[in-house]
């Protein structure tokens, strides 16, 4: 296996580090957006490269740094970070306040005049918290040992236990139904999913050749580690602030609600921050390793299985068997109780009361 042989080659490491972040951007964007169908034909969509892709990468990196710096890397804290992540659907897209553009998404009433039921409980408390944050974090902790040193999260879905198998199968079916329903045209489905999978699999293969997945290797720390320097963190924060300000002002201005709704939304942030602060600070073992990566191929095979599930659904439609009308409402509706349950279990019970 060819490796980078000159650790002093700063430019070479910088180039591979940049490549790693591009790969991470594909993962953090593609998991939620390609699956959801909002990333349809992403490869030829300029807004993906200008706004959506950077938005997901910057959020992910920001919360990873805050979690590492604060030591809040427990299940409860990471879930709550994911909920804060999901609140971008207020200020940036305004989906929680005003629904989907042209009402193309799943809609189910509102909590008062400003907050959609599915958009709040299903999208923020479940989909973004889990699919946009916990899942990419689980993938990274399974594929890269430097991430596994800090984040104890891969085993809940990519582990060997029956619980992990159940989560893996349940999410496969749910997300497979969602992606098959929201990407209804087979050629567009293939042109959306296949480039995503090729970039992830080929990109990871290239990173393996650099030594980026070798436990305890300096190349792994320098190329694929979760750390950011001060300059990197400044760029992430500046990028997030600019994205929020520009999007709030210029994107869907009619979707901006009354000042009361803005105040209520803003109040969620200190509330969630207090819940995170209430969780216990996690201390790494002396050897610095909390979870071994192992079974690295499982996350990538699981993504291929989701693609296959959605493709089979579309092929069945072509054969006159359309299961989407039956399965899709179940998948979307199930997100609501799951989101509410996760918030009460992880956010309130384990985080606030038991302080785990």
Rg, the chain, Cα only: 20
Distance CA 138, CA 155 (A): 8
Domain hosting 73: range is: 10-353
Long-range contacts of 244-249 (CB under 8 A, 24+ apart): 244/88, 244/91, 244/92, 247/51, 247/91, 247/92, 247/93, 248/91, 248/92
The answer to whether residue 4 is domain-embedded is no
For residue 4, the tally of other CB atoms under 10 A from its CB is 16
Q: pLDDT at position 64, please?
A: 96
- Domain count for the chain: 1
Does residue 256 contact residue 248 with C-beta atoms inside 8 Å? yes
Does residue 270 contact residue 120 with C-beta atoms inside 8 Å? no
Distance CA 90, CA 98 (A): 9
Q: How many CA atoms lie within 13 A of 275 on its CB side?
A: 27
The answer to whether residue 3 is domain-embedded is no
**pTM as predicted:** 0.91
The answer to whether residue 5 is domain-embedded is no
Q: pLDDT at position 213, please?
A: 80
Instruction: Return the percent helix, strand and coil in the chain, to nearest 5.
Output: 75, 0, 25
pLDDT in tens, the chain (356 residues): 444 445 446 788 889 999 999 999 999 999 999 999 999 999 999 999 999 999 999 999 999 999 999 999 988 999 999 999 999 999 999 999 988 766 555 556 677 778 888 899 999 999 999 999 999 999 999 999 889 888 877 688 998 889 999 999 999 999 999 999 999 999 999 999 999 999 999 999 999 888 778 776 777 778 888 989 899 999 999 999 999 999 999 998 988 999 999 999 999 999 999 999 999 887 765 444 444 444 567 899 999 999 999 999 999 988 888 888 889 999 999 999 999 999 999 988 887 888 77
The answer to whether residue 326 is domain-embedded is yes
Residue 269 structure tokens: 């942030």
The answer to whether residue 2 is domain-embedded is no
Q: pLDDT at position 187, please?
A: 95
Q: pLDDT at position 285, please?
A: 54
The answer to whether residue 297 is domain-embedded is yes
CB crowding 180-198: b at 16 or more within 10 Å, else e: bbbbeeeeebebbbebbbe
Does residue 151 contact residue 141 with C-beta atoms inside 8 Å? yes
């Amino acid at each position: 296996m060819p490796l980078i042989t000159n650790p002093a080659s700063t430019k070479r490491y910088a180039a591979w580090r940049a490549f790693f972040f591009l790969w991470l951007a594909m993962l953090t964007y593609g998991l939620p957006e390609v699956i959801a169908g909002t990333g349809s034909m992403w490869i030829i969509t300029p807004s993906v490269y200008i706004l959506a892709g950077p938005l997901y990468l910057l959020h992910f990196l920001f919360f990873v740094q805050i979690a590492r710096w604060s030591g809040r890397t427990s299940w409860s804290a990471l879930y709550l970070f994911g909920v804060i992540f999901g609140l971008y659907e207020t200020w940036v897209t305004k989906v929680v306040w005003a629904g989907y553009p042209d009402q193309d998404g799943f809609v189910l009433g509102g909590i008062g005049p400003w907050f959609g039921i599915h958009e709040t409980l299903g999208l923020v408390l479940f989909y973004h918290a889990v699919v946009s944050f916990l899942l990419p974090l689980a993938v990274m902790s399974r594929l890269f040992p430097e991430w596994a040193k800090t984040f104890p999260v891969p085993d809940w879905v990519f582990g060997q236990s029956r619980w992990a198998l159940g989560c893996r199968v349940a999410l496969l079916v749910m997300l497979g139904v969602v992606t098959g329903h929201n990407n209804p045209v087979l050629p567009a489905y293939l042109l959306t999913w296949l480039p995503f999978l090729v970039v992830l699999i080929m990109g990871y293969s290239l990173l393996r050749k650099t030594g980026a997945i070798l436990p305890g290797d300096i190349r792994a720390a320098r190329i694929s580690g979760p750390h950011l320097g001060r300059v990197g963190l400044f760029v992430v924060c500046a990028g997030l602030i600019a994205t929020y300000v520009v999007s709030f002002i210029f994107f869907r201005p009619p979707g901006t609600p009354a000042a009361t709704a803005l105040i209520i939304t803003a109040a969620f942030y200190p509330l969630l921050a207090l819940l995170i602060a209430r969780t216990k600070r996690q201390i790494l073992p002396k050897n610095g390793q909390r979870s071994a990566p192992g079974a690295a191929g499982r996350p990538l095979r699981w993504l291929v299985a989701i693609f296959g599930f959605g493709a089979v659904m579309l092929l069945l439609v072509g054969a006159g068997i359309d299961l989407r009308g039956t399965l899709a409402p179940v998948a979307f509706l199930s997100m609501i109780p799951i989101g509410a349950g996760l918030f009460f279990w992880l956010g309130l019970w384990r985080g606030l009361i038991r302080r785990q």
